[in-house]
Chain A
């Protein structure tokens, strides 16, 4: 079974983002970029499936500008076998990415697609579910544990009140939650080896996908700042403030 993982290039999670002064977006020039952390978990899960003999080949997919090659290389250094980049400088929204993924899935015929549950830039949490819908596949979202056997997957999902178990038919799309696994670091020899692994580059129009954004971003602003309050010395003072000033207890 081939496994396809999707990896997104995002501002590194350690970077404190800055809103552009003209309110058109977030500053990305000269900012460290990395693989979306949830996608690292997706890559790790695919590698573990390969190590267990359940996956035969891992294809790392990305969509976006040429620099997404680096993100794919990271996946290849972790253990993916080859890459597919749909290269475009256009703004890509989740529905467009899902359509690009669908086109590549139809070409590659994987038995499983694993993606991060959301990207830490736009926080949409849509692409995996949308891909499953477009393919008519089942979806195991917010996965905490995945077991694969006999053409189906048992997925333990993180839901509001705890965990939920579902059984889904393969092929399927799985979206990763934080605690599915702890992604490995790529070793130096593997980073070197990854440089020789192939990455195929495709264009959205060659795949027959219209990626025109459906949502227009009118403006991006700083969130309202919360002012620091006061420090109190004693519990008695705190209780007094909560009762008589804030009126919350």
Chain B
């Protein structure tokens, strides 16, 4: 039986983490189908069809699917699921909202945020904010799995899967999308950025984040923050890296004025190279950093910005 990946998208292209989900799905079964549910989402379906390893794309068109209302998309996934051994989604805000609803409607358990596929029915997932790793085996007929994208390589482009139209399920009328207040940023999205620059309470104000913006822009980096900086109101919620925020694993993570609470480490310790800039040499962040520099961030950051070449 094939594996179904449910792809989040913006109507034009699928989210980059779908490519990671496809890689995870290929470890669960040899044939992977991708479901693109949307309203005029033909372009997004095409962007899924080019992923290597995808055997078929299902394009379900229905006005009810325009904004990822879980109450309306879940019945579609439930209708398709009996043809599959697994339903896989990236553990982002779409997957976390939708997957458990699908699982319960099917009376199947869900494996949340798998970081490794041991075998088609066995997965490793972090518990206690990543302070322990649990290996769990699912006895259910259809395995509903959300995967942590940063732990799976992105499937490359270059494929050409056929796109099949499937019927929609209509609107249930339980919930309606009203609007969104999304952060506008020219910078790369945090969870897919190759380099992330994050600031903590050491920045002392939202105004001082401008200094980090300059560094991030020069490096072509995403900009993140610790929970302390978000709670202090320096930056919006969606900047937060950590257990209750975003999990990132870039090639380079630069932690500026971040002490390194467990909460924060859970969100970034899989980064390839970690740099810590902090005035407190006892800060726990130095215990996970490959390169630490003890000193005044207000001197070091501008110096670093000047020293790196523009990307």
Contact of B269 with A by CB under 8 A: yes
Give complex CA distance A10, B130 in Å.
Answer: 16
Question: Which residues in window 115-160 of B have CB below 8 A to A?
Answer: 122, 125-140
**Do A133 and B182 touch across chains, with their CB atoms under 8 A apart?**
no
Contact of A164 with B by CB under 8 A: yes
Contact of B237 with A by CB under 8 A: yes
Which of B103, B189, B237, B290 lies in contact with A229, CB distance below 8 A? B290
| Chain A residues, CB < 8 A from B207 | none
Among A125, A215, A238, residue most surrounded by chain B Cβ atoms (within 10 Å)? A215
**Do B303 and A235 touch across chains, with their CB atoms under 8 A apart?**
yes
Supposing A121-B127, A133-B105, A246-B252 touch, asked if A228 and B219 sit within 8 A by C-beta, the answer is no
**Do B71 and A125 touch across chains, with their CB atoms under 8 A apart?**
no
Cβ distance B11 to chain A, nearest Cβ, rounded Å: 14
**Do B112 and A121 touch across chains, with their CB atoms under 8 A apart?**
no
Contact of A158 with B by CB under 8 A: yes
| Chain B residues, CB < 8 A from A167 | 175-176, 178
Contact of A123 with B by CB under 8 A: yes
Give complex CA distance A94, B108 in Å.
Answer: 11
Contact of B210 with A by CB under 8 A: no
Give complex CA distance A179, B243 in Å.
Answer: 14
Give complex CA distance A163, B183 in Å.
Answer: 8
| Chain A residues, CB < 8 A from B307 | 235-236, 239
Cβ distance A24 to chain B, nearest Cβ, rounded Å: 11
Contact of A120 with B by CB under 8 A: yes
Contact of B304 with A by CB under 8 A: yes
**Do B252 and A249 touch across chains, with their CB atoms under 8 A apart?**
yes
Interface segment among B25-33, B43-51, B92-100: the answer is: B92-100
**Do B103 and A216 touch across chains, with their CB atoms under 8 A apart?**
no
Give complex CA distance A121, B109 in Å.
Answer: 17
- Whose C-beta in chain A lies nearest to the C-beta of B245? A178
**Do B127 and A229 touch across chains, with their CB atoms under 8 A apart?**
no
| Chain A residues, CB < 8 A from B238 | 158-163
Contact with A along B79-104 (1 / 0, CB 8 A): 00000000000001110111111111
Contact of A109 with B by CB under 8 A: no
Chain A: how many interface residues by the 8 Å CB criterion? 75
Tell me if A's interface is mostly helix, strand, loop or mixed. Answer: mixed
Give complex CA distance A16, B275 in Å.
Answer: 25
Cβ distance A166 to chain B, nearest Cβ, rounded Å: 6
Interface segment among B53-61, B198-206, B291-299: the answer is: B291-299
**Do A217 and B136 touch across chains, with their CB atoms under 8 A apart?**
yes
Contact of B251 with A by CB under 8 A: yes
Which of B69, B191, B251 lies in contact with A248, CB distance below 8 A? B251
Question: Which residues in window 102-136 of A have CB below 8 A to B?
Answer: 120-134
Which of A128, A142, A164, A216 lies in contact with B177, CB distance below 8 A? A164
Contact of A98 with B by CB under 8 A: yes
Which of A130, A161, A234 lies in contact with B100, CB distance below 8 A? A130
Contact with B along A7-23 (1 / 0, CB 8 A): 00001000011010000
**Do B112 and A125 touch across chains, with their CB atoms under 8 A apart?**
yes
| Chain B residues, CB < 8 A from A246 | 252, 272-273, 290-291
Give complex CA distance A91, B150 in Å.
Answer: 30
Contact of A220 with B by CB under 8 A: yes
Cβ distance A58 to chain B, nearest Cβ, rounded Å: 24
Question: Which residues in window 243-298 of B have CB below 8 A to A?
Answer: 243-244, 246, 251-252, 262, 269, 272-275, 281, 286-294
**Do B128 and A121 touch across chains, with their CB atoms under 8 A apart?**
yes
Give complex CA distance A138, B69 in Å.
Answer: 10
| Chain B residues, CB < 8 A from A122 | 127, 134
**Do A215 and B252 touch across chains, with their CB atoms under 8 A apart?**
no
**Do B104 and A123 touch across chains, with their CB atoms under 8 A apart?**
no
| Chain B residues, CB < 8 A from A94 | 100, 109-110
Cβ distance A90 to chain B, nearest Cβ, rounded Å: 15
Among A121, A159, A218, residue most surrounded by chain B Cβ atoms (within 10 Å)? A159
Chain A positions within 8 Å of B, measured between CB atoms, are 11, 16-17, 19, 26, 93-95, 98, 120-134, 137-142, 144, 154, 157-169, 177-179, 214-223, 226, 228-236, 238-239, 241-242, 246, 248-249
25 A-B contact pairs sorted by A residue (CB < 8 Å)? A95-B103, A95-B104, A123-B129, A129-B97, A129-B101, A133-B101, A140-B175, A160-B92, A161-B183, A163-B182, A164-B177, A165-B177, A166-B178, A177-B244, A178-B244, A214-B140, A215-B136, A216-B139, A218-B136, A220-B133, A231-B281, A232-B293, A233-B293, A236-B307, A246-B272
Query: Which 9 A-B pairs have CB atoms at the shortest separation, nearest pair first?
Result: A214-B109, A229-B290, A129-B100, A130-B104, A133-B104, A126-B100, A138-B174, A165-B178, A162-B182
